[in-house]
Copies of this chain bind each other. A is one copy, B any other.
């Protein structure tokens, strides 16, 4: 079951300024939630976001697929969950957000990240992979 694959969960509360004129969270804000979740995961693993860039490696989003199921509104709390796999140089983050109150799926996203070197070339990401080895399925 897909749900079993989750390796990290972050609880996030909706902030009212994230609502748009429909009174629901604007679709772009979910990318913030998803990024915040990835950074919190990486930080928990002892890999602060800044240290990667000091090594000259910049993780960049290459592709994002996101399905919007249920909108979030004022007062809602979400559980942002993820698991990941590696496909060559690509790190694939599978990220789902659920409404805490009733478990409804809010968004389902597949986010492809690659590590860029300073000169713009794609890095194999072996160092990053080594640090997250226990979570990775190399596909």
A→B interface (CB under 8 Å): 15-17, 19-23, 26-29, 31-32, 35-36, 39, 43, 48-50, 53, 58, 60-68, 71, 74-75
Contact = CB atoms under 8 A, between A and B. Distances in A.
Contact of A67 (B31, B49, B62, B75): B62
A36 B62 contact: no
Nearest to A23: B21
Q: Is the interface of A mostly helix, strand, loop or mixed?
A: mixed
Given A63-B68, A68-B62, A75-B43, A28 B20 contact: no
A71 B21 CA distance: 14
Contacts of A21: 16, 19-23, 74
Contacts of A53: 22
B31 A16 contact: no
B74 A68 contact: no
Given A28-B29, A48-B74, A20 B17 contact: yes
Contacts of A61: 27, 68
A64 B31 CA distance: 11
A22 to B, nearest CB: 6
